[in-house]
């Protein structure tokens, strides 16, 4: 992976090579940081780069920081402006991933959240597919369980909680799968290692409610609206059992990195017709058009960079 050329660090845009922290940094030792992940999409015809729903992403980011007792000085609008300035400085003409991070920056020993300074950084890198097999992914149910709200809240996008996601992802990859689904302590389907999940069963789309230890995904929220308003299929939020997934007609995962990834096999069982289904196919097309700024009705989700 190529490194960024610039970083927003200590209140300024500086060369990435100068954005450095010491090894005693609290967040590096104890996982006391929160992060975000946004995409910007290059529209070649318009020569425009569109950031996707930055205000929603930064609102969630500020909320995540609040859970770790970090008050972010900037508003979502101001953070969006910083991200836009950074992307302009990089002068990207390609699809990009943007990574804001708020971290406990004191270089001290001692496990806690209080009485610690924090810093904010934002970097960006060119980015294409995250799940390479995104039209026919084969996923497994992880042997790991999702962190619970009373352990490390999944809705917080807390760096330390991504050790849990890392166990889940690596088990799947080492076993030859593309991704894994993870169950809650109660045994309901929660989400993937870094994506929300949707199942189509008998003409209804179901997705786990936000009380199932999921990250409250911006793509999830977008897709729920598109399924209802554009595709015309009802969407319900309800607990999902593992074996419902085996029997469903279509299954897909959503996330900033994963976008809309169609899953066609789960634990070696074919899903539906064994190929990507019509709901996922339509959704992928609409979502891609919207992200690239090609759908006037959803222009309010696109923030132009240039
Ligand atoms: N769940 C987890 C655990 C994630 O890390 C992500 C990626 N941010 C998602 C779901 C999807 O969220 P979003 O659509 O906001 O990227």
Domains with residue ranges and CATH for the chain: 6-126 (3.30.470.10), 137-291 (3.20.10.10)
- The pLDDT tens digits of the residues spanning 203-251 come to 999 999 999 999 999 999 999 999 999 999 999 999 999 999 999 999 9
Which residue in the block uniquely carries the two structure tokens 């799947």? 172
Average of per-residue pLDDT across 51-75: 98
Residue 100: per-residue pLDDT: 98
Cβ atoms of 69 and 158 closer than 8 Å: no
Cβ atoms of 115 and 82 closer than 8 Å: no
Burial-class residue 21 by CB neighbours within 10 Å (0-12, 13-18, 19+): middle
For a ligand 1 pocket test, name from 35, 208, 255 the mutation site with the most ligand atoms within 8 angstroms of its C-beta. Answer: 255
The atom of ligand 1 lying closest to the CA of 257 is 16
Cβ atoms of 72 and 34 closer than 8 Å: no
219: Cβ below 6 Å to ligand 1? Answer: yes
213: Cβ below 6 Å to ligand 1? Answer: no
Closest CA to ligand 1's atom 11: 255
96: Cβ below 6 Å to ligand 1? Answer: no
184: Cβ below 6 Å to ligand 1? Answer: no
Centroid of ligand 1 to alpha carbon of 116 (angstroms): 27
Token digits of residue 301: 């989700």
- The pLDDT tens digits of the residues spanning 13-51 come to 999 999 999 999 999 999 999 999 999 999 999 999 999
217: Cβ below 6 Å to ligand 1? Answer: yes
Q: pLDDT band for position 167 (50/70/90)?
A: very high
Residue 1: per-residue pLDDT: 76
Strand partners, 103: 33, 119
Q: pLDDT band for position 196 (50/70/90)?
A: very high
In this model, does residue 2 exceed pLDDT 90? no
Centroid of ligand 1 to alpha carbon of 160 (angstroms): 15
37: Cβ below 6 Å to ligand 1? Answer: yes
Centroid of ligand 1 to alpha carbon of 216 (angstroms): 7
Token digits of residue 305: 């960079």
Centroid of ligand 1 to alpha carbon of 131 (angstroms): 13
For a ligand 1 pocket test, name from 52, 100, 153, 215 the mutation site with the most ligand atoms within 8 angstroms of its C-beta. Answer: 215
Centroid of ligand 1 to alpha carbon of 109 (angstroms): 31
Cβ atoms of 187 and 122 closer than 8 Å: no
For a ligand 1 pocket test, name from 181, 217, 253 the mutation site with the most ligand atoms within 8 angstroms of its C-beta. Answer: 217
State the chain's mean pLDDT as an integer.
97
In this model, does residue 252 exceed pLDDT 80? yes
Q: What is the DSSP letter of 229?
A: I
Residues of the chain above pLDDT 90, percent: 98
- The pLDDT tens digits of the residues spanning 138-156 come to 999 999 999 999 999 999 9
- Find, among 122, 90, 107, 108, the residue nearest to 19 by Cα: 122
In this model, does residue 257 exceed pLDDT 90? yes
Neighbours of 131 (CB within 10 A): 21
208: Cβ below 6 Å to ligand 1? Answer: no
Centroid of ligand 1 to alpha carbon of 256 (angstroms): 6
């Amino acid at each position: 992976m190529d490194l960024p050329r610039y970083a927003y660090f200590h209140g300024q845009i500086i060369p990435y090579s100068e954005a450095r922290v010491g090894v005693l940094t609290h967040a590096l030792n104890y996982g006391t940081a929160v992060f975000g992940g946004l995409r910007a999409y290059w529209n070649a015809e318009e020569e425009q780069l569109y950031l996707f729903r930055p205000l929603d992403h930064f609102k969630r980011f500020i909320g995540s920081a609040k859970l770790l007792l970090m008050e972010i000085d900037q508003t979502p609008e101001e953070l969006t402006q910083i991200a836009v300035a950074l992307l302009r400085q990089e002068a990207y003409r390609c699809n990009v991933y943007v990574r804001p991070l708020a971290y406990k920056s004191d270089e001290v020993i001692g496990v806690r959240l209080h009485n610690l300074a924090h810093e904010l950084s934002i970097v960006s890198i060119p980015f294409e597919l995250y799940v390479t097999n995104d039209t026919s992914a084969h996923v497994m149910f992880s042997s790991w369980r999702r962190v619970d709200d009373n352990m490390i809240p999944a809705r917080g996008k807390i760096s330390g909680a991504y050790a849990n996601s890392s166990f889940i992802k690596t088990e799947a990859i080492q076993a030859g799968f593309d991704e894994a689904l993870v169950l809650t302590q109660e045994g309901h389907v929660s989400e993937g290692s870094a994506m929300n999940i949707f199942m189509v069963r008998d003409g209804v789309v179901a997705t786990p409610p936000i009380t199932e230890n999921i990250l409250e995904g911006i793509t999830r929220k977008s897709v729920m609206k598109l399924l209802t308003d554009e595709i015309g299929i009802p969407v319900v939020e309800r607990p999902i059992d593992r074996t419902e997934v085996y029997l469903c007609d279509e299954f897909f995962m959503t996330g900033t990195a994963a976008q809309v990834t169609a899953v066609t096999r789960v634990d070696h069982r074919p899903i539906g017709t064994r190929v990507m289904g019509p709901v996922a196919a339509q959704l992928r097309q609409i979502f891609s058009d919207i992200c690239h700024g090609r759908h006037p009705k959803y222009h309010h989700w696109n923030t132009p960079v240039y």
